Amino acid sequence: MADFVSQFRENRTALVGAAVILLLVLVAIFAPQLAPHNPIKASLGDRLSAPSEKYPLGTDHLGRCVLSRLLYGARISLAVGVVVVGVAAAVGVALGIISGFYGGVLDEIIMRLVDAMLAFPSIFLALAIAGTLGPGLGNVMIAIIVVEWTRYARVMRGSILSVKENYYVEAARALGASDFYVVTQHILPNAIAPIIVVATLGMAPVILAATSLSFLGLGVQPPTPEWGMMLNDGRLFMRRAPHLTTFPGVAIMITILAFNLLGDGLRDALDPRARTEKELR
């Protein structure tokens, strides 16, 4: 009974996370329909106005509607999250497969490279790369991909090593199956669940890193609306227009919270070890 309750509770928080994410996706897709104003159109007469009927969340230093900018900003953050996680996962999975499947020198090189990447605090490294490449959303995404692929490589390599010993892999190889066949037919399907969990859990740090770099002025360039940049613009007007310091932060936090909830829920559901630990209690 208590197990049912606690499971329900966990599922419920994960479901809330999923629902919020769905909502954010809808907001991103339908931003043009939802936004009351043009997000990049300055209206100097309305500068720094507090929330009002016309501007539900107020306006920024150029008189642009904060709500509209937040709605459009969801597009950037989610797109960055999906693209970065997607590419990083693809690169990491590929290198993880090579490393785990072939072993030997390749494995040694890839794993030492992973270790070396992990020897840098990740935001510092991303900042150095993005900063050197120069401002721009693409460069920020490249920088974050460079630091993010390692987690997928490690997880993939780990799953491969554990799947590799299974009899059906041995059997398939004994029957003369090609490496490609063995990997796609036998290894990937078994290793995909942990990758999905890691990818979900990886969304929050990616979005956080991207908004941080934008906050520092490295991401999208004005006038495109982006949450981190909006916070940075707003902080100069903290006293006069505190709403500029509040609302974009709320948007970032809700997004990250939602991905954390969903990721934790998936991990608990898919990680048998975590599950038995719960049962033991």
**What's the rounded Cα separation, in Å, for the pair 197 and 220?**
29
In the complex with other proteins, the residue whose CB is nearer, 54 or 278, is 278
Name the minimum Å distance from CB 277 to other proteins.
7
Q: Which is nearer to other proteins, 119 or 175 (CB)?
A: 119
Nearest residue (CB) to other proteins, 58 versus 228: 228
CB atoms within 10 A of CB 186: 20
Cβ 59 to other proteins, closest distance in Å? 18
DSSP 50: P
Closest among 68, 62, 219, 223 to 139, alpha carbons compared: 219
* Cβ-based nearer residue to other proteins, 87 or 257: 257
As given in the structure block, the two tokens for residue 60 are 């920024």
Alpha helices in the chain (DSSP H): 2-29, 31-34, 66-102, 104-118, 122-133, 137-164, 167-174, 179-182, 188-215, 227-234, 243-270, 272-280
- For residue 68, give the nearest of 118, 16, 32, 109 by alpha carbon: 32
In the bound state with other proteins, the residue whose beta carbon lies nearer, of 146 and 195, is 146
Binding site for other proteins (CB under 8 A): 1-4, 112-113, 115-117, 119-125, 127-129, 131-134, 204, 208, 211-212, 215-218, 228, 231, 235, 238-239, 242, 245-246, 248-249, 252-253, 256-257, 260-261, 277, 280-281
Q: Hey, what are 4's tokens? A: 């049912």
Shortest distance (Å) from residue 130 CB to other proteins: 8
96 vs 169 by CB, closer to other proteins: 96
Compute the distance between CA of residue 56 and CA of residue 35 in angstroms, rounded to an integer: 11
Minimum CB distance to other proteins, residue 172 (Å): 35
Identify the CA nearest to 241 among candidates 11, 43, 59: 59
Tell me how far, at minimum, the Cβ of 42 lies from other proteins, in Å.
Answer: 23
Quote the least distance from Cβ 95 to other proteins, whole Å: 15
